């Protein structure tokens, strides 16, 4: 049975978000208000609609490097505890409005220390903002859980310090670590000491790889750095040969398939940076059919003018997904989350599975 989906079903479908950058998801109006209050004068526009459009256009250059340059504006208006708390709180509210019930939102604490905040203060302000947003959602009768992933920048040298913060704040709003930033010329193995430290302390981590660089980047992340998840991973498609009409997997692709390593894919972002040509040909659809553990994510909601609802809609339309496909994606997401198996099971059994079963039942009538 096809169980085709409508806009209402997409909105109601429970969503799990594993790859979202806090400094890539600000509300344009919040940016403007922060800029005016702090004296930041470099915003491209002080009209919220125009500013939102500017970010999308500036990020649609086709290269990751130019895409990353736009973050200078968002980072500049997140330099006080009050600013960070507000952005984190609004992030939770926006995700909840999208039907997200579990999210891991990441940020690089070193970026928000220009005005004197310590990394600890940045982390604590972020977690406080998430807590405030979660409480507001609870008071409205809904549920959402948002955890924090701490990023280190692959072109910088703070990864060991950031890793130590992941361990320090483990169980206190922080669930994992990530390496982000430009891939070319900055292999994840430059940060092997941080990964070894995380492993020795039982901490989770993901690695941006195969977004703008090739299969080698993914291989290093998985085989040398023991990544539990891969941020994007779209270039893994280059290790699959389709020339004879059937997919023949290379050794790395086969390993990632066999081990069911979670791939955190973000279609709109990939289109903007030149990693994919269209939603209908984005790697997520092909790789899902092959059995890879794919998840659907927003990456940077401001830069892509996107949401989880939009990402679901675009890929569902592009690949003619039905409600069972959305159920698969949500299941992959929650069982790829950096929380305990017991917590994963509780969220899946109480919040995800019942809703999808209800929608499926409606569609079957």
Lookup result for tokens 């990441």: 106
Specify whether 183 is catalytic.
no
The whole-angstrom separation of Cα 49 and Cα 296 is 26
Q: Are the C-beta atoms of 5 and 322 separated by less than 8 Å?
A: yes
Active-site residue, from 147, 211, 264, 314: 211
CA-CA distance, 154 to 332, in Å (whole number)? 27
Q: Three-state DSSP class for 275?
A: coil
Sheet holding 229-232, edge to edge: 15-21, 100-107, 145-153, 174-180, 204-209, 229-232, 262-265, 294-296
**Cβ(175)–Cβ(167) under 8 Å?**
no
Beta strand extents in the chain (DSSP E only) = 15-21, 100-107, 145-153, 174-180, 204-209, 229-232, 240-241, 248-249, 262-265, 294-296
**Token pair recorded at residue 64:** 């990751």
Can you tell me the distance from the alpha carbon of 337 to that of 267, in angstroms, rounded to the nearest whole number?
19
From CA 251, how far away is CA 240, in angstroms rounded?
9
- Does residue 313 contact residue 267 with C-beta atoms inside 8 Å? no
Q: Give the Cα separation of 217 and 222 in Å (integer).
A: 9
Between CA 28 and CA 249 the distance in angstroms is 43
Q: How many CB atoms lie within 10 A of CB 318?
A: 16
CA pair distance 112, 95, nearest whole angstrom: 22
- Burial-class residue 2 by CB neighbours within 10 Å (0-12, 13-18, 19+): exposed
Four-point Cα dihedral 120, 202, 181, 19, nearest 10? -90
Catalytic residue IDs: 211
């Amino acid at each position: 049975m096809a169980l085709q989906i409508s806009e209402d079903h997409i909105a109601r479908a429970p969503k799990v978000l594993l790859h979202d950058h806090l400094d890539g998801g600000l509300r344009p109006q919040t940016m403007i208000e922060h800029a005016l209050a702090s004296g930041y004068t470099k915003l491209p526009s002080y009209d919220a609609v125009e500013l939102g459009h500017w970010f999308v256009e500036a990020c649609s250059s086709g290269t990751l490097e130019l895409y990353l340059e736009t973050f200078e504006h968002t980072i500049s208006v997140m330099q006080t505890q009050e600013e960070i708390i507000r952005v984190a709180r609004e992030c939770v509210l926006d995700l909840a409005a999208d039907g997200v019930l579990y999210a891991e939102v990441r940020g690089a604490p070193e970026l928000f220390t220009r005005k004197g905040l310590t990394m600890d203060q940045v982390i604590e302000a972020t977690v406080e903002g998430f807590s405030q947003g979660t409480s507001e959602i609870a008071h409205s009768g809904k549920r959402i859980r948002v955890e924090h992933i701490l990023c280190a920048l692959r072109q910088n040298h703070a990864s060991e310090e950031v890793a130590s913060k992941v361990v320090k704040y483990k169980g206190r709003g922080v669930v994992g670590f990530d390496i982000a930033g430009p891939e070319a010329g900055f292999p994840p193995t430059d940060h092997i000491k941080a990964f070894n430290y995380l492993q020795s302390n039982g901490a989770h981590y993901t690695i941006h790889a195969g977004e703008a660089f090739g299969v080698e980047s993914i291989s290093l992340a998985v085989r040398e750095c023991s990544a539990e998840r891969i941020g994007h991973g779209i270039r893994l498609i280059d290790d699959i040969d389709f020339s004879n009409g059937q997919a023949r997997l290379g050794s790395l692709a086969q390993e990632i398939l066999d081990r069911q390593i979670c791939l955190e894919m973000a279609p709109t972002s990939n289109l903007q940076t030149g990693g994919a040509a269209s939603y209908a040909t984005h790697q997520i659809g092909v790789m899902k059919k092959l059995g890879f553990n794919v998840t659907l994510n927003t990456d940077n909601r401001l830069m892509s003018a996107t949401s989880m609802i939009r990402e679901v809609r675009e890929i569902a339309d592009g690949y003619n997904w039905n409600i069972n496909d959305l159920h698969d994606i949500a299941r992959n997401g929650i069982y790829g989350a950096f929380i305990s198996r017991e917590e994963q099971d509780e969220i899946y059994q109480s919040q995800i599975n019942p809703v999808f079963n209800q929608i499926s039942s409606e569609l079957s009538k």
